[in-house]
Structure 1
Amino acid sequence: MSGGTARYDLPETDDFTRTYWDAAAEGRLLLRRCGDCGRAHHYPREFCPYCWAGEDRVTWEPASGRATLYTWSVIHRNDLPPFGTRVPYTAAVVDLAEGPRMMTEVVSCEAADLRIGMPLTVTFREAADGVWVAVFRPDQGQSSSRTQELPASVPVPVPVPVSASVVRR
């Protein structure tokens, strides 16, 4: 980046991540899935962070665009450009339907209406000329033109309840 104020919110696109950012510009969220252990992960990495399979065993796949809200924080002050002009905003962590957790932002929802486990749908915001980022909005039970159906071949994780007696301290 030359001249001007540094933009801390913009991704650094390289040969590997270009596929991800190009898909985002088209309104598609991509994940990486390991061919060895079968697990999906996000943020995109060339290797599997679970079993360390190499880049030849990890592939891109479309995400469903569905998620649930895991946690959030409403940011009222941020001195880094350009965040300061966007306050307040809701930074969030969501559980994608395919399993991975993702850091993001919740839009189109008042903070008082947010609930843990709230269903969300991906949408995309243009952060800069040609740079689109995935953000999430409440799922109103309607399909969005920017969301995708989960391929039938992709297993959807099922939550497993854990009792306090199972958790080691």
Structure 2
Amino acid sequence: MPPILWDNMGFWEGIKRHELVFQRCQECGTWLHPPRPVCPKCRSLEKEWAHSTGKGTVYSWVTYLESPHPSFKAPYSVVLVEMEEGVRLVSNMVDIRPQEISIGMPVEVVFDDIAEGLTLPKFRKAG
């Protein structure tokens, strides 16, 4: 997990509440992820944390057949999801066999409470 800093704190606070939020520029409406201090489209410093639909499609994925660490049970799949808002998010795919994942597959976010105070967003096949 990345360190929680001032610029990504809103994202992780939303995840703890089981809400997927991304930065959105208040000047031009561009969705931003990862969080950043300046909108890359209009250079505005004015941003807000806005709720995502939590829906997207698999843009790319990889399945790990061997575990790099005992806490990861292989095989497991990591997906790059293009969210409906246009941003992309990397996370794990759950509740599906690796051979069933495909590019363009509709997915939705689920929240995994790993430990006290630690929740991670993951994805499952939509529907």
TM class, shorter-chain normalised?
Answer: 0.7 to 0.9
Give the aligned partner of residue 90 of structure 2.
103
Q: Which structure has the highest strand share of the two?
A: 2
In the aligned structure 2, how far is the partner of 1:36 from the partner of 1:112? Answer: 42
Q: TM-score, normalised by structure 1?
A: 0.68
Aligned sequence identity (%): 28
Contact 1:47/1:53 (8 A) holds in 2: yes
1:13 Cα deviation after fit: 1.6
Runs of 4+ in structure 1 over 4 Å off: none
* Larger CA Rg, structure 1 vs 2: 1
Does residue 22 of structure 2 align to residue 31 of structure 1? yes
Contact 1:21/1:131 (8 A) holds in 2: no
SS for the counterpart of 1:44 is: coil
* Matching residue's letter, 1:103: V
* Matching residue's letter, 1:67: G
Count matched residues.
Answer: 127
SS for the counterpart of 2:2 is: coil
The verdict on how the C-alpha distance between 1:81 and 1:45 changes in structure 2, with shifts beyond 3 A counting, is: farther
Contact 1:74/1:90 (8 A) holds in 2: yes
The verdict on how the C-alpha distance between 1:78 and 1:51 changes in structure 2, with shifts beyond 3 A counting, is: farther
**Gaps (5+ residues) in structure 2?**
none
**Gaps (5+ residues) in structure 1?**
1-9, 141-169
Give the aligned partner of residue 37 of structure 2.
46
